[in-house]
Structure 1
Amino acid sequence: MTKILLLIWIPFLTYSQDKPIVNIGGALRYNYLYSSWNSDQKDIGGDFIYDIFRINAEARYKDVYLNVEYREYSDSFGGGFLKQGWMGYSLSEQEDIQIGLTQVPFGIQTYNSNNWFFNLTYYVGLEDGHDMGIKYMNIGDKFEYQLAFFKNSELFDLGGSNEVSSNRYAYDIVGKNKEINQFNGKFIYKTGEEFKHRIGFSAQYGGLYNIETKETGDHHALGLHHEVSYKRWNLKTELLTVGHNPMNADGQSRDIVRMGAYGFPYDVASDFEMYTAAVSYDLPVDIGPISNLKFYNDFGYMDKRAQGFKNSAMNVTGMLVSAGDVFIYVDYAAGYNHSWFGGDFTNELGQGKPNLGWEARFNINFGYYFLTDNKSR
């Protein structure tokens, strides 16, 4: 909690455009959950547990700005860590440079999903990822493009011989390999008036340094993505191809890589294609404090290339309730060969198991967001 308190010393100022502006906000969230694979939990009718407390700080002076978010989870889910933290400079009305722990420009952003669980892309590090580096953004009326270089994922120990910690918000390579010297490029074309389209292409390439062999392999990802909005409807689709070439020690499989977040590492297939689709509908209402209901269904499928590996899938059907500063996600999330949905946590997104069926979790996330416009998950 001491790291949180360090953020609060910043004074809350409301000066004119030429004076510093600082905003402090955050969120408190809880979960009710009921899981099909947990017999003890089913016996007691589910659990109501703490999710996170977080602090957001945004500051700006002229064209220089700051954005930082610190999250405090329970110790069993990684404890406290930064989700993001960057310093930025506005070159013009449509051009910015950010440096620090900033969002990786890949795929549909901010999210390739609508629900609290994200889409399957998140669990392999390709949705709302954040790494340490520098990023250039050019956001125009018709075109958007971003270019970035990331020296590495967020690190907590110096030296190439230290393993990367799984105590983090977004999934990255952990264990004996670590991501280094990654390049990203993303391009978006926007068109349409009644049907508003965002058609995009993303590319990612970087090194994988092995702390045992001291050799550097590589990894890459390519993505085609399309988002269309029509009145209250929204549809997001992605097609991804991903490959990893780790230079592991003799006897260690190169068909899997170890990834981690929230304090839990697991295996992920090195090479795969992934297909996702997320549809939503917004319904404005006037029910006491409730102003909007968003209904959605998000689907993802992972087609693993290694022989004998079992594919993975995920589907979430749910609703987001907006009531003032309170946001409530009501989700029925199901997964097949998915580490977070029953079975063997370690290898379901890796080699997988042939006899696993679908498992599901009913989840309600209650969140109060204060003094901030950032309602991110």
Structure 2
Amino acid sequence: MYSNLRYLFIIGFFYIGVGSGFTVRAQETPEVSVGGALRFNYNLSSWKPEQKTRGGDFGYDLFRINANASFKGIYLNAEYRLYSDAFGGGMLKQGWFGYRFNRNDELQVGLTQVPFGIQQYNSNNWFFNLSYYVGLEDDHDMGIKYIHSGEKSEYHLAFFKNAEEMRFGNNTEISHSRYSYDVAGRNKEINQFNGKYVFKFGDNIKHRLGMSGQYGSLYNLDTKKTGNHHGFALHYEGTYKNWNLKAEAMNISHNPQNLEKASREVISMAAYGAEYEVAADFNMYTLTLARLIPIEWGPMSALQVYNDFGYMQKHKTGFEDSYMNVTGVLVTTGNIYTYIDYAAGYNHSWLGGNYVNDFSRGTPDATWEARFNINIGYYF
């Protein structure tokens, strides 16, 4: 029955698209555009005494290529990133084929963004918010997605066969060289359904009030059994002149069918060439505030100041909660965008402490750690 529902769900995408009417004219000549970015990074971290002694480190962040193409109504969107070997090396961030049925309706197939929560980003800073590090912000998976974007409402329906897959063995774990955080180790994400609805209203203050839900399976490579994972989110975004506010509350649960000796209170997630543990069940709350300040100072045209906060409330008794707060400013200078951030974390795998289990068990009486970071990128 589950399999039949899955295929009916996919067929429904095409039915909705056909019912919307094919009003987009097919172009006669192909169009291709290529862009990208080169970024460098400076960081000074409170938990690295030798780095502090030498005044921090400044080096390579990434080089990326973006490609967009269209022909006869079918279009392509792809982004490939090259990080250092220590951070996973080369990886496809996104890559999908699309078709617009009309001005408001489109279909995307491939490695496309999962419709869950505030998009495109639930943050303003270079680090993203806490939601990114557990696969709930700017996540991309392999599947098919239908989007309707009207004047007053917007909805997304999607089916994802699995997370991005680079290894096609019989029982191989997912590759750690990936941009989006996904369940890793002996469990694999499969057959996930997503739905998202946003109600848009307001004139002077533009409001976006929405809800998101997802349900999928977790296939265990050891037991050959299938567990599940699911999530629900309420989210709001408000924009008034140059001010922007984002708020989101999420409830997330993972129920893997592991071997008896393996904990079911913890799951593994991976990205950027490494794997760590995450609490299987948690609530997450995020709140961000930003203001854009136009300026005229030589080639400098704008500043955006912001504060992004995230709190991860773990359900398991004895697990220590995680926090993240980033205060910063984005400086726009022609094609150069510079993020200047002060990122603080408590039981945060990327901000001091224990990388392996800060997002799962955590460390009792942990201390807040901080990283001062400057990311400079030329975007073309």
Q: Same fold (TM over 0.5)?
A: yes
Structure 1 runs (4+) greater than 4 angstroms displaced:
none
| Aligned-partner Cα distance in 2 for 1:246–1:261 | 20
Contact 2:27 2:73 (C-alpha < 8 Å) held by counterparts: no
Asked if 1:138 corresponds to 2:148, the answer is yes
CA-CA distance at 1:109 after TM superposition:
0.4
Structure 1 residues not aligned, in runs of 5+: 1-15, 371-377
Pick from 274, 280, 284: which aligns with 1:270? 280
Matches within 5 A, 1:1-40: 18-40=28-50
Contact 1:72 1:81 (C-alpha < 8 Å) held by counterparts: yes
Pick from 309, 318, 337: which aligns with 1:327? 337
| Aligned-partner Cα distance in 1 for 2:176–2:231 | 21
Contact 1:32 1:47 (C-alpha < 8 Å) held by counterparts: yes
Local SS of the residue matching 1:123: helix
Asked if 1:363 corresponds to 2:367, the answer is no
> What RMSD over aligned residues (CA atoms) do the two structures have, in Å?
0.9
| Aligned-partner Cα distance in 2 for 1:349–1:175 | 16
Tell me the equivalent position of 1:121: 131
Deviations 1:203-247 (A, max 9, x none): 010000000011000000100000000011000000000000011
Number of residue equivalences? 355
| Aligned-partner Cα distance in 2 for 1:25–1:166 | 26
Matches within 5 A, 1:248-287: 248-287=258-297
Contact 2:344 2:369 (C-alpha < 8 Å) held by counterparts: yes
Asked if 1:71 corresponds to 2:71, the answer is no
Aligned amino acid, residue 187 of structure 1: Y
CA-CA distance at 1:17 after TM superposition:
5.2
Tell me the equivalent position of 2:13: none
Asked if 1:314 corresponds to 2:324, the answer is yes
| Aligned-partner Cα distance in 1 for 2:27–2:304 | 36
Contact 1:94 1:138 (C-alpha < 8 Å) held by counterparts: yes
Matches within 5 A, 1:164-175: 164-175=174-185
Asked if 1:47 corresponds to 2:51, the answer is no
Asked if 1:61 corresponds to 2:71, the answer is yes
Tell me the equivalent position of 1:216: 226
| Aligned-partner Cα distance in 1 for 2:291–2:71 | 38
Aligned amino acid, residue 244 of structure 1: H
CA-CA distance at 1:18 after TM superposition:
3.5
Structure 2 residues not aligned, in runs of 5+: 1-25
Matches within 5 A, 1:133-212: 133-212=143-222
Contact 1:240 1:273 (C-alpha < 8 Å) held by counterparts: yes
**TM-score, normalised to structure 2's length?**
0.92
CA-CA distance at 1:21 after TM superposition:
1.1
| Aligned-partner Cα distance in 2 for 1:140–1:313 | 36
Matches within 5 A, 1:96-111: 96-111=106-121
Local SS of the residue matching 1:250: coil
| Aligned-partner Cα distance in 1 for 2:286–2:47 | 25
| Aligned-partner Cα distance in 1 for 2:59–2:315 | 38
**TM-score, normalised to structure 1's length?**
0.93
